[in-house]
């Protein structure tokens, strides 16, 4: 069976697969020769073994591990055993339920959907008009099996995530016991280890957040890093406690494990629909350590009396290169947005684009009061979140020449001045800004756009 060469994996994957051929890694190996299937359970780093299946006829495969490599090392290991030690497989005539579920959901290459014969030749009129009772029974049985499989998968995922959060709690306690100074110095290695462990236990979204923590800390000045580290670790503790209290909460599942699909959000009766005029404030594009690029597009509602924002999130492999976005900063359009259900609805989908919106200035949000009141409310509802979009009142960009830090200072002498992340173009120094849109994380501003007497300024 020369299937490994046919799939052309890299040498690193082949080496990892070779290590998985030990019998101790595979407590169960079975085959159904009549169907050309081999399957088994492989003991990974998680508490539950991964379920691996392979079709030797058309090279289809399935593995329950969270790896982003296709095929993963577990599939390659199973194929390796099948090619080099076929006697390791116990021959059976019946396939387990999880293999049947996989077979029922996949379509082989060239296979066409089965259709019931349209002809009723040989039947009387009464027989032809009588409803077929056998098909609904089979459909009901298949639906029941699918629902049972979905319930089992959901329960397995919940158990794995619960174990992941237990390990996260212990890891955070270890970092505090060893000291924050040591954690900041070695955060890259320590965060990568716990993130890999969380991926194995299906807490993939939480793993991505922890994997990005070192980059966020290193972007700060040295004296600010311990405070930022304790803030972020505290948010993780709160998120873990919230998930344990409500593991079925859609927002918490989105932040810890996996997100809903577009179709699920559009069909969700709890999702908020808003039809309005929107302006693209700016973009935030980040290449993550897991090889994905996060592309966030921030929007402002131009018809709301109080500041209302939306963010469109897209993820794609970094190897695909820079992708052209559907929007550019400054674009204005009419659209109906559907927001993901959450305590602070921000993430949204464009359900329908309805044309272009008229140019003009932003609404007058001067009566909104304290610009950081929105952040306080944001944190009260979901203290585990970070970036909060805000509208700052009239002010200007200032530079502290002593330490080179940038600030956004209010024109009102009794107003506030907030530090800006990174640097700002020197051409903006002292320029009167009527209003500024930015992201505030409690320590730094990320500027998106401003309105000035020179027109709209793109700051992202």
Would you state the pLDDT for residue 222?
86
Backbone angle region of 365, left / alpha / beta, with phi > 0 → left and psi within -120 to 50 → alpha: alpha
DSSP 8-state secondary structure symbol assigned to residue 69: S
DSSP letters spanning 339-350:
EPPSSS--BEEE
Angle of the 134-178 helix axis to the 187-200 helix axis, nearest 10: 160
Least confident piece of the model among 6-15, 139-148, 181-190: 6-15
More confident residue, 21 or 177: 177
Instruction: Find the mean pLDDT for residues 210-223.
Output: 89
Please tell me the predicted confidence (pLDDT) of residue 258.
Answer: 87
Which of these ranges, 84-88, 116-120, 176-180, 212-216, has the smallest mean pLDDT?
Answer: 116-120
- d(CA 441, CA 351) in angstroms, rounded, equals 29
pLDDT of residue 402: 82
pLDDT of 243 strictly over 80:
yes
Per-residue pLDDT for 19 more than 80?
no
Phi, psi dihedrals of residue 81, rounded to the nearest 5°: -65, -40
At 38-88, the pLDDT tens digits run: 999 888 766 678 889 998 888 888 888 877 677 888 888 888 888 888 888
Question: For 272-281, what is each residue's pLDDT tens digit?
Answer: 999 999 999 9
Report the helix count and the strand count for the chain, using DSSP H and E: 14, 17
- Among 43-57, 188-202, 233-247, 429-443, the range with the most confident prediction by mean pLDDT is 233-247
The closest of 52, 161, 184, 55 to 107, measured between CA atoms, is: 55
Would the pLDDT of 17 be above 70? no
Q: What is the pLDDT of residue 187?
A: 92
Average pLDDT, the chain: 83
Q: ∠ at Cα 115 (112, 118), nearest 5°?
A: 140
Pairwise CA distance, residues 140 & 16, whole Å: 42
Range ranked top by mean pLDDT from 26-30, 70-74, 98-102, 181-185:
181-185
Q: What is the mean pLDDT of residues 10-35?
A: 70
Note the pLDDT of residue 112: 46
pLDDT of res. 5: 47
Write the pLDDT tens digit of every residue in 281-294.
999 888 887 778 88
β-bridge pairing 90-91 and 28-32: parallel
Burial class (CB in 10 A: 0-12, 13-18, 19+), 6: exposed
The answer to whether the CB of 255 falls within 8 A of the CB of 239 is yes
The dihedral sign for the CA sequence 130, 135, 138, 142 = negative
Q: What do you get for the CA distance between the two ends of the chain, in Å?
A: 54
């Amino acid at each position: 069976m020369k299937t490994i060469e046919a799939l052309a994996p890299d040498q690193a994957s082949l080496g990892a697969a070779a290590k998985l051929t030990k019998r101790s890694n595979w407590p169960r190996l079975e085959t159904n020769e009549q169907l050309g299937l081999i399957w088994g359970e492989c003991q990974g780093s998680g508490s539950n073994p991964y379920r691996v299946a392979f079709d030797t006829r058309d090279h289809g495969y399935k593995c329950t591990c969270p790896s982003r490599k296709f095929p993963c090392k577990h599939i390659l290991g199973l194929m390796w055993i099948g090619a080099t030690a076929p006697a390791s497989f116990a021959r059976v005539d019946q396939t387990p339920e999880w293999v049947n579920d996989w077979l029922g959901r996949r379509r082989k290459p060239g296979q066409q959907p089965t259709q019931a014969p349209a002809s009723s030749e040989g039947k009387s009129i009464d027989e032809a008009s009588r409803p077929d009772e056998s098909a609904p029974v089979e459909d009901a049985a298949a639906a029941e099996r699918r629902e049972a499989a979905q319930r089992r998968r959901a329960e397995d995922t919940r158990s794995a995530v619960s174990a992941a959060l237990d390990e996260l709690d212990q890891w955070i306690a270890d970092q505090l016991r060893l000291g924050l100074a040591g954690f900041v110095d070695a955060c890259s290695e320590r965060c990568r280890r716990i993130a890999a462990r969380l991926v194995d236990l299906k807490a993939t979204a939480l793993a991505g957040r922890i994997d990005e923590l070192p980059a966020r800390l290193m972007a700060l000045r040295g004296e600010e890093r311990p405070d930022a580290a304790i803030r972020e670790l505290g948010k993780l503790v709160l998120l873990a406690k919230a998930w344990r209290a409500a593991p079925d909460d859609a927002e918490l599942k989105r932040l810890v494990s996996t997100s809903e699909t577009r179709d699920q959000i559009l069909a969700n009766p709890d999702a908020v629909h808003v039809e309005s005029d929107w302006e693209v404030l700016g973009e935030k594009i980040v290449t993550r350590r897991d090889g994905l690029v996060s592309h966030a597009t921030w929007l402002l509602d131009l018809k709301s009396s109080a500041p209302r924002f939306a963010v469109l999130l897209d993820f794609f492999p970094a190897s695909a290169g820079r992708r052209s976005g559907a929007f550019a900063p400054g674009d204005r359009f009419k659209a109906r947005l559907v927001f993901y259900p959450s305590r602070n609805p921000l993430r949204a989908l464009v359900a329908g684009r309805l044309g272009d919106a008229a140019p003009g200035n932003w609404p007058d949000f001067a009566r909104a009061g304290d610009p950081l009141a929105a952040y306080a409310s944001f944190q009260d509802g979901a203290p585990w979140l970070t970036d909060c979009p805000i509208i700052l009142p009239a002010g200007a960009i200032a530079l502290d020449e002593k330490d080179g830090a940038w600030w956004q200072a209010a024109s009102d002498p009794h107003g506030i001045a907030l530090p800006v992340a990174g640097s700002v173009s020197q051409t903006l120094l002292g320029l009167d800004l009527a209003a500024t849109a930015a992201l505030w994380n409690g320590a730094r501003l990320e500027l998106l756009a401003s309105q000035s007497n020179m027109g709209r300024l793109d700051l992202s």
